Amino acid sequence: MIKKQPYMNVGAACLFVIFGLLFFVLLFRYFSIEISGEAAGQPLAAKAMKKYTRTGTLEATRGIIYDRNGEVVAEDTASYSLLAILSKKMTTDPKHPMHVTDPQKTAMELAKYINMDETEIYRRLNQPNMFQVEFGRAGKDISIETKRKIEDLKLPGITFIPQMKRFYPNGIFASHLVGYTDPVEQKDKSYKMVGQMGIEKTLNNYLTGTNGKLNYESDLWGYILPDKKENISPAKDGDDVYLTIDQKIQTFLEDAMNNVAKKYKPKKIIAIVADPKTGDILAMGQRPSFDPKTKEGITDGWHNEAIETSYEPGSTMKIFTLAAAVNEGVFNPNEKYKSGSYQVSPRSPAIHDHNYSGWGTISYLEGLQRSSNVAFAKIADEKLGFEKFREYLSKFGFDRPTGIDLPNEAAGRIQFNYPIEKVTTAFGQGTAVTPIELIQAATAIANDGKMMKPHVVDKIVNHDTGKVIKQTETEVAGTPITAQTAKTVRDYLETVVTSKNGTGHRYKIDGYSVAGKTGTANIPNPNGGGYLTGQQNYIFSFLGMAPKNDPKLIVYVAVQQPQIDNYELGSRPVSEIFNPVMKNSLQYLNIRPSKLEKSTSVKIGDFSGASVTETVKDLKSQGFNPIVLGKGPDVTMQLPKAGTTILEGEKVLLGTSGDLIAPDMTGWSLRDVMQLAEIADLKFNVAGSGYVVKQNLTPGSPLKSGENLIVQLQSPEQQSKNIGNTGQEKNSDQTPSD
């Protein structure tokens, strides 16, 4: 028998030595890692931190855009996208399914809340091979209210993805001025809202905030570990922008343009309202326009026509030819000239008045009133001289951009090479200017010679601190004429509206003196070869200011190719924008009609807590018109407020305890109705201009906070016309053509 025991002992010893060495290696490795904190040259603590540390993004909010009075024009708001999970793999507990289990029921319920047909919703939900589906545009921009209603249905598999969107509460509202935003993909594959037009584009760097970060330690599933500190880098919201736009005046303008667009179906409308003392743009709009939220209508017009487009201004340019002549002392309103035609040089074609044959020998003032091209050709050629006339075109800023704080501003193009171009420029043909250049130049006429640079941004404010970062200062762009010249020109321009020969008699406004000039501009043929022909193929316009002695507003309106039956009626659609916008805006700004300017003004007292009976008696004794809006015994509120200076005969609204009661507003002015809306906290809408003829709230009914107050206004002239209206407008109401 062979003994193998010694070999077995040797093998066992070898294994013991090998495992012993491995143990010491592991032990050495353990202590070396413990002491150094590294493995393979890599810091293990950092590796662990990286594995269990999560980073979240704290999204910044884009800055808010306000009007001049702090009313929101654009802001970020939460919205949701609707999502349906179809995959059964998402469900781990059959009692609590996480996928759509009943497509038919789900489709029927969702159809009540989104703008999609039930059959289309069902088709999308009935795709078993899909993991999830969305619902296109109908499933986007879901409001928080709609989201909650859908969640209350407890439909399995229906979920929402939160997102921020840009909200424009007024819809179509100075859309080309304000602009819009679109999501733009960034380098890190995230998306950021970027301004694409108007203020949203120009001030994108101010409006765009900086996202913050949240670093925290979590478990394998991403939940924050208890007692672990969060490292937060807060988001910095975008700066807020305050515009010079006034929401009320802009609304007046939008409503008037809507009415004219619907009635006359023009190719374009351009309108601007400005404060001539400061250069503030109070309203700016155009048709066609678009809804900045949905982008509906944007393909009909990408450009801000008031800023980016130049065109022949027509006879509104005569304002500035006249101003130059008056300033140089070469305009004699009583001097006679032969109207009809004028030839500036033997080689130049003759220019004609708009009625071709003229009106015989008339004064230059009548030439202004009748908008005679010959009168202004002679003024530029024989009175001013072309060299001096060209200097004034530059003084009024027609050969350079105004520098308004909006993108892509165009400059005027002055055609001044040949004699015929020089005389046609004098009456607004050949040379092209932008509407904003006309507004800037007109401020010199309205502001006693000082031409104010236009602007739409009032200030930029830090969203978090309220500190003003940038304040726009009023800027004088030039002084092309003297104060006396400006006053004299306004006097002459008033006769364009008041004279029986004037082309502007449609622009009379009850209680206010208007100075201005009509314009009828040719439209170049896009195919070449002169101008378009036909009764409708013109740009009809009016550039006016009021009150004439101390203008508070300038309004420019241009309507291109309205559907009218007669060339002479071209001023009708223009006046249906200019008149209500000018009058409503003046009343809103509390600019008194001239017939009230000489009335006695008194500071109103404080009647809070006083007896209604005694207050009414007291106010009547002072010549005021008290309107009691409730049935309580004591006064609880009043408008105008205590200490306000008001005029004899003005209404004083008195609120009492209990429900406020709707009064009969027939005959009320816009200002009175606006005070009622303020004291009763009503949402106010107006149609027309003048005084109230209709109201939606029944007199004597309770006024509820937040309800709509809608009134229709008409001028006394229109009311008189309606009494005996036969359905046909008399020929005598037709405006002379310019």
Q: 610 and 569 share a domain? A: no
Any catalytic annotation for residue 357?
Answer: no
Q: What confidence category does residue 112 fall into, taking pLDDT thresholds of 50, 70 and 90? A: very high
Question: Domain total for the chain?
Answer: 3
Q: 626 and 549 share a domain? A: no
Asked if residue 689 has pLDDT above 70, the reply is no
Question: CATH number of the domain that 555 lies in?
Answer: 3.40.710.10
| Per-position DSSP letters for 333-381, written without gaps between them | TT-EEE-SEE-SSTTSPPEEBTTBS--SEEEHHHHHHTT-HHHHHHIII
Question: CATH number of the domain that 205 lies in?
Answer: 3.90.1310.10
Asked if residue 392 has pLDDT above 70, the reply is yes
Annotated active-site residue in 289, 310, 315, 371 = 315
Q: 554 and 407 share a domain? A: yes
pTM (predicted TM-score): 0.76
Place of tokens 């672990």: 228
Mean pLDDT across the chain? 86
Instruction: Give the model confidence (pLDDT) of 561-620 as tens digits.
Output: 999 988 778 899 999 999 999 999 999 998 888 754 444 567 788 888 888 888 888 888
Question: 26 in a domain, yes or no?
Answer: no
Q: 688 and 539 share a domain? A: no
Asked if residue 705 has pLDDT above 90, the reply is no
Residues 6+ apart with CB under 8 A from 199: 65, 177, 178, 179, 241, 243, 405, 406, 456, 457
CB atoms within 10 A of CB 108: 13
Tell me the average pLDDT across 546-555.
Answer: 96
Look up the domain containing 139 and give its range: 57-243
Range in 528-537, 680-689, 694-703 with the lowest mean pLDDT? 680-689
Q: 448 and 488 share a domain? A: yes
Query: What is the reported pLDDT for 506?
Result: 94
Which run of H or of E encompasses 45?
A: helix 44-52
Last residue of a domain, one of 550, 567, 588: 588
Query: What is the reported pLDDT for 222?
Result: 46
Instruction: Give the model confidence (pLDDT) of 393-404 as tens digits.
Output: 999 999 999 999
Query: What is the reported pLDDT for 224?
Result: 46
Q: 235 and 270 share a domain? A: no
Instruction: Give the model confidence (pLDDT) of 123-137 as tens digits.
Output: 999 987 888 899 988
Q: 301 and 190 share a domain? A: no
Q: What confidence category does residue 216 fall into, taking pLDDT thresholds of 50, 70 and 90? A: low
Q: 606 and 584 share a domain? A: no
Q: 525 and 606 share a domain? A: no
Q: 656 and 690 share a domain? A: yes
- CA dihedral (37, 41, 42, 44) in degrees, to 10, reads -20
Asked if residue 729 has pLDDT above 60, the reply is no
